[in-house]
């Protein structure tokens, strides 16, 4: 097919989040289009998670506007999920003493019409809905490769599989946009590569993805577009190759020498020169 119609899935404009005197996110614009995987990178404390929290109704931004498929998002997490945005958390949030399958079923609750009472009273309508939900949850477990462990307790899964399960639970709400906060944190290289494949497969299902990650190689392999946050501000945005080569990003994010960087003698000269002109600088205290 040659006609791909792209539309804006997420549109954040001028999103600002202040905590007292600290501006954690400063006037950030970001869009995610259908069919896209967009990366959000930046040093620790740059405001990435806070930005996610502003998108998902966990925080009400101090300023700015967020729309999902053209509609302004309500400032309540469950309503945002209902609208079609699902997320995973930087720190795994699973129900440790529930089974793998039950964790996914919990993720489906925003999509099932049956109320709490019918569930508690086990009315026939509930059993039917429950059966359908289970079937869908098993499909998702199949998709992420955890079907064989459906009856295991979440807490008994190895770390990498817990992260996968979080993704399955997020997918259970049938989102149009998935937000992943450091999905490969703590994973070994094989698990990271498998997660890459998983994210591509999710995109191929028609779900747009916005992903925060520290693993720069992961981001560069995966993303159509990458935005860089530094101290709450978006300093660069563009295709992965462009961002990867941007010296501001290299300096701010990696903080390490790059191809074509001055040689070590030159670097030492620069450092020495800077050491003489630090009267007004915050400097580093080393």
Other CB atoms within a 10 A radius of the CB of residue 96 amount to 13
Closest to ligand ADP by CB, 150 or 185:
185
Select from Mg ion, ligand ADP, none the partner in contact with residue 24, using the beta carbon and a kind-dependent cut-off of 5 to 8 Å.
ligand ADP
| Contacting range for Mg ion; rule: CB under 5 A; set: 23-31, 45-53, 228-236, 260-268 | 45-53
Which is closer to ligand ADP, CB of 60 or CB of 132? 60
**Is residue 56 part of the contact set for Mg ion (CB under 5 A)?**
no
Q: How far is the CB of 8 from ligand ADP (least distance, A)?
A: 24
Please choose, from the candidates 95, 5, 10, 92, the residue with its C-alpha nearest in 3D space to the C-alpha of residue 52: 10
Over the window 31 to 60, marking each residue x when it contacts ligand ADP by CB under 6 A and - when it does not, the resulting string is: -----------x-xxxxxxx----------
* CB 65 to Mg ion: min, Å: 23
Tell which one of 34, 40, 49, 80 touches Mg ion (CB under 5 A): 49
Q: Which of 14, 19, 82, 188 binds ligand ADP (CB under 6 A)?
A: 19
CB of 232 to ligand ADP, least distance (A): 7
Q: Does 81 bind Mg ion (CB under 5 A)?
A: no
Looking at beta carbons only, is 19 or 200 nearer to ligand ADP?
Answer: 19
Binding site for ligand ADP (CB under 6 A): 19, 22, 24, 42, 44-50
Q: Which residues contact Mg ion by CB under 5 A?
A: 48-49, 90
């Amino acid at each position: 097919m040659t006609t791909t119609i792209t539309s804006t899935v997420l549109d954040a404009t001028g999103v600002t989040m202040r905590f007292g005197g600290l501006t954690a996110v400063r006037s950030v614009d970001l869009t995610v289009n259908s069919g896209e995987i967009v990366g959000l990178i930046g040093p620790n404390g740059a405001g990435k998670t806070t930005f996610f929290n502003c998108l998902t109704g966990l925080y009400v931004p101090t300023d700015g506007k967020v729309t999902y498929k053209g509609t302004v998002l309500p400032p309540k997490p469950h309503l945002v999920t209902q609208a079609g945005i699902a997320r995973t958390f930087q720190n795994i949030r699973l129900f440790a003493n529930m089974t793998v399958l039950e964790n996914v079923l919990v993720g489906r609750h925003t999509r099932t019409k049956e109320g709490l009472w019918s569930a508690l009273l086990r009315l026939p309508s509930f059993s039917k809905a429950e059966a359908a939900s289970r079937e869908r949850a098993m499909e998702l477990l199949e998709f992420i490769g955890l079907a064989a462990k459906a009856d295991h307790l979440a807490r008994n899964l190895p770390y990498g599989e817990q992260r996968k399960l979080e993704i399955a639970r997020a997918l259970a709400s049938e989102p149009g946009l998935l937000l992943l906060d450091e999905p490969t944190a703590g994973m070994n290289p094989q698990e990271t590569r498998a997660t890459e494949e998983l994210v591509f497969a999710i995109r191929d299902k028609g779900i747009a993805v916005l992903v925060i990650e520290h693993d720069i190689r992961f981001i560069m392999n995966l993303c159509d577009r990458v935005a860089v946050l530094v101290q709450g501000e978006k300093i660069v945005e563009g295709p992965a190759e462009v961002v990867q080569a941007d010296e501001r990003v290299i300096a701010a994010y990696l903080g390490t020498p790059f191809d074509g960087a001055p040689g070590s003698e030159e670097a030492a000269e620069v450092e020495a020169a800077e050491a003489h002109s630090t009267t007004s600088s915050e400097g580093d205290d080393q």
